[in-house]
Amino acid sequence: MAAKKQKSRKKTSADLESVRGQGGELHQQRSEGTVLSTNDGIAIADNQNSLAIRPGGPTLLEDFVLQEKISHFDRERIPERVVHARGTTAHGYFELTDSLAEFTTARVLTVVGARTPVLARLSTVVGASGSADTVRDTRGFSVKFYTDQGNWDLVGNNIPVFFIQDAMKFPDLVHSVKREPDRGFPSASSAHDTFWDFISLTPEATHHLLWVMSDRGIPRSLRTMEGFGVHTFQLVNANGDATFVKYHWRPHHGVAALTWDEAVTLAGADPDFHRRDLWESIERGDQPGWDLGVQLFTAEDAERFAFDPLDPTKLITEEDVPVRIVGRMVLDLNVENVFAENELAAFSPMRILPGMDFSADPLLQGRLFSYLDAQLHRLGGSNFQQLAVNAPRCPVANYQRDGFFQGRPQGGRVGYEPNSLDEAGPRETPGGFASAGVNSEGSKARWRPATFADHYSQARQFYRSQAPFEQSHIVDAIVFELGKVETPSIRHRMVANLRQVDESLATRVAAGIGLAEPPEASPTAVPVRDLPLSPALRYASKAEPTLRARSVGILVAKGTDLATVERASASAAAAGATVKIVSPTIEGVTAEDGTHLAADCQLSGTTSAVFDAIAIVLSAESAETLCTEHAALDFARHAFAHLKGIGVDEGGRRLLHAAGIRADEWVVDLTDPDHFLTVAAERHPEREPSVRNLP
């Protein structure tokens, strides 16, 4: 008779040891991770040659080492994000400085001084993952807060409004701006017919369009852009009272932008310009940071706003509701693996905490479906929150089971709730997430609120609030983009729309594209209003002259005066700048006094577009030589045309002269390093009329 069945016992470490094999040199090496193996743990003796019957003979099907290696490689790519495919990720922390306990129970916003780990992903929208960083585009600004109450994702952009009002239109918007499907170009660019066709037929997009055509569309660095939650969300306090909230990120390094020509040059010279800048700054310990601000208002306050706060194509000006700074985020750790911590990172506006809620913004509501859906598709099924980068840093317990790549312990009999068989198992809790109450009645239909109908007044307010040079840049950008649109009726329709924003804007664009007679203004659903100007909307109002997070390139050559270089370099570095020595050869040069001056960059491969200011220090002889070197002449010309401060010695002046540059007040002698620092700390739009014919 069979022995009585024994009750199964728990696995012990001895069982595991017996599975892993015992002792021996190979075992020792393997536990150190130095033995190359297959994914089944078989040690590999030859990782260079496929298995064949003889030298030069056919490869054998039984070569499991080759099969596994190649088939794994074949599956290395996962679907890229349909938008925001190109992003840069870094870790850091958020620290609360001002409690919002009056408005919310979410601890991340109430415990002053507490540090919450974060992951930030800053991205472009349109281009594929291998596209250039400096293209004109909206930027994504996603932050995952790993709080002790679960993960909160704030998935915003660097522009406070969006193109469309209803999620229904998102696939059309994205299809219009992506590469045209019959030809597969242009890449990472809105300068083509289908985008402007869609936009010119979608007046609600005009406000966002003006933002992206402004210098906001070409940030200097990921460190110098603002972030916005865009939608109106809600905070909910212990009494269940809800307050509306809009989120803002303010960069510690000031807002700064590129010039368009510089952005175009950089897209070729260094497609990774933004990614490299963020990575290098964190490696150096020069940590990027942002303040978190909130605009708080009640439903009653909303009554007096010029616009419906649930309309995501509108903002609430800072003059109407000031931004209250409540904390700061610092990014201080680069990722170790871009695939694991960037490609696999999953952000979604649906991830909010107890004490927070959504609003009825119809664009936000659509997003609440889309991100989970996209992630289920991209990340191989329903267990992607278990991936290290997505996993919450607080306990997770529920009765969800199985699925691809299930990695959580699934032991026990009970996979349901309520139950009586797993008394120690997870249960609902009164402090858990609860939605704010909504009183609602009405009829089911595909509604567009009447309060969303005014598409031009805030676009007008934005345009008219800009400084004259900012307005010129907007005109210039639209002229550039329409210059790539082949279909005349699309160009004309766009000008007709712009007439509703501002007559002078439309006239300047019409002149820029060579349209003798601007077309009749497009009709509007409601009359366009003249709103008070908002200086806070000017990008220039948030810029600050600084050398922090900026870079200075010093061009040197044989016989350069070392003392001048050292003085300029030391004072710029002391002011916070990264200083790079640019020389005709990467091995560096011999200075006037015979010392070797090491180089960081080789002139022929380094456009001055990568710097925020330049200095040129040359001996008379080297200046003479470089006057016939186009890389040196372009170095000077581009810096001048990109409105940068320039410091020179005698030789440097000689090069500028040869480059045809008529020095102005922002070209200064390096004998006065402080003066150089002043001109180096900002761009000089006042120079612009002397280098370009603005439309």
Beta carbon of residue 115, minimum distance to ligand HDE (angstroms, whole number): 22
Neighbouring C-beta atoms of residue 342, cutoff 10 Å: 20
Specify whether 39 is catalytic: no
Residues in region 502-521 near ligand HDE by CB under 6 A: none
Site string for ligand HDE, 281-320 (x = CB under 6 A): -------------------------------x--------
Q: Single out the residue of 157, 82, 122, 119 nearest to residue 273, CA to CA.
A: 122
Element of type H or E holding 462: helix 457-465
Please identify, among the stretches 81-89, 256-264, 572-580, 634-642, the one whose residues bind ligand HDE according to the rule CB under 6 A.
Answer: 81-89
Between CA 270 and CA 526 the distance in angstroms is 46
Beta carbon of residue 475, minimum distance to ligand HDE (angstroms, whole number): 26
Six token digits for residue 359 = 């609003």
123 binds ligand HDE (CB under 6 A): yes
155 binds ligand HDE (CB under 6 A): yes
Kindly name the residue from 91, 151, 157, 158 that is annotated as catalytic: 157
Among 104, 116, 124, 142, interactor with ligand HDE by CB under 6 A:
142
Name the closest residue to ligand HDE (Cβ).
140
Which residue's entry shows tokens 């009359």? 527
Which amino acid makes up residue 367? Answer: R
Among 127, 140, 227, 645, interactor with ligand HDE by CB under 6 A:
140
367 binds ligand HDE (CB under 6 A): yes
Rank residues 304 and 446 by Cβ distance to ligand HDE and give the closer one: 446
Q: Single out the residue of 459, 581, 558 nearest to residue 208, CA to CA.
A: 459
Six token digits for residue 629 = 């070197």
* Residues 6+ positions from 393 with CB-CB distance below 8 Å: 117, 146, 147, 148
| 660 phi-psi bin (left φ>0, alpha ψ -120 to 50, beta other) | left
Beta carbon of residue 228, minimum distance to ligand HDE (angstroms, whole number): 7
156 binds ligand HDE (CB under 6 A): yes
Among 255, 363, 599, 623, interactor with ligand HDE by CB under 6 A:
363
Q: Single out the residue of 315, 316, 324, 318 nearest to residue 103, CA to CA.
A: 324
Q: How big is the site for ligand HDE, counted in residues (CB under 6 A)?
A: 27
274 binds ligand HDE (CB under 6 A): no
Between CA 355 and CA 378 the distance in angstroms is 30
Rank residues 81 and 654 by Cβ distance to ligand HDE and give the closer one: 81
Residues in region 442-471 near ligand HDE by CB under 6 A: none
Beta carbon of residue 649, minimum distance to ligand HDE (angstroms, whole number): 46
Q: Single out the residue of 270, 179, 197, 200 nearest to residue 551, CA to CA.
A: 270
Compute the half-sphere exposure of residue 73: CA atoms within 13 Å on the CB side of its CA.
Answer: 7
Beta carbon of residue 162, minimum distance to ligand HDE (angstroms, whole number): 4
Task: Provide the 3-class DSSP secondary structure of residue 377.
Answer: helix
Beta carbon of residue 255, minimum distance to ligand HDE (angstroms, whole number): 18
Rank residues 157 and 214 by Cβ distance to ligand HDE and give the closer one: 157
Which amino acid makes up residue 111? Answer: V
Q: What is the 3-state secondary structure (H, E, C) of 336-358?
A: CCHHHHHHCCCCCCCCCCCCEEC
Q: What is the dihedral of CA 360, 364, 365, 371, to 10 degrees?
A: -160
681 in Cβ contact with 551 (< 8 Å): no
Supply the DSSP symbol for 75: T
Among 354, 366, 380, 425, interactor with ligand HDE by CB under 6 A:
366
Among 370, 382, 386, 406, interactor with ligand HDE by CB under 6 A:
370
Rank residues 157 and 457 by Cβ distance to ligand HDE and give the closer one: 157
Among 51, 66, 82, 540, interactor with ligand HDE by CB under 6 A:
82
Kindly name the residue from 27, 47, 72, 84 that is annotated as catalytic: 84
Compute the half-sphere exposure of residue 139: CA atoms within 13 Å on the CB side of its CA.
Answer: 31
Specify whether 419 is catalytic: no
* Residue-wise burial string across 53-78, b where 16 or more C-beta atoms lie within 10 A, e elsewhere: eeeeeeeeeeeebbeebeeeeeeeee
Please identify, among the stretches 154-162, 508-516, 590-598, 604-612, the one whose residues bind ligand HDE according to the rule CB under 6 A.
Answer: 154-162
Rank residues 159 and 510 by Cβ distance to ligand HDE and give the closer one: 159
- The edge-to-edge listing of strands for the beta sheet with 578-583 is 601-602, 578-583, 551-555, 613-616, 645-648, 667-669
Among 88, 149, 165, 375, interactor with ligand HDE by CB under 6 A:
375
Among 86, 91, 121, 216, interactor with ligand HDE by CB under 6 A:
121
347 binds ligand HDE (CB under 6 A): yes
Beta carbon of residue 119, minimum distance to ligand HDE (angstroms, whole number): 10
* Beta strand 578-583 pairing with 601-602: parallel
127 binds ligand HDE (CB under 6 A): no
Site string for ligand HDE, 159-198 (x = CB under 6 A): ---x----x--x----------------------------
Neighbouring C-beta atoms of residue 432, cutoff 10 Å: 9
Q: What is the dihedral of CA 207, 209, 210, 213, to 10 degrees?
A: 170
Beta bridge partners of 243: 235
Active site residue ranges: 84, 157
Can you give the binding site for ligand HDE, defined by CB under 6 A?
Answer: 81-84, 87, 121, 123, 140, 142, 155-157, 162, 167, 170, 230, 312, 345-347, 363, 366-367, 370-371, 374-375
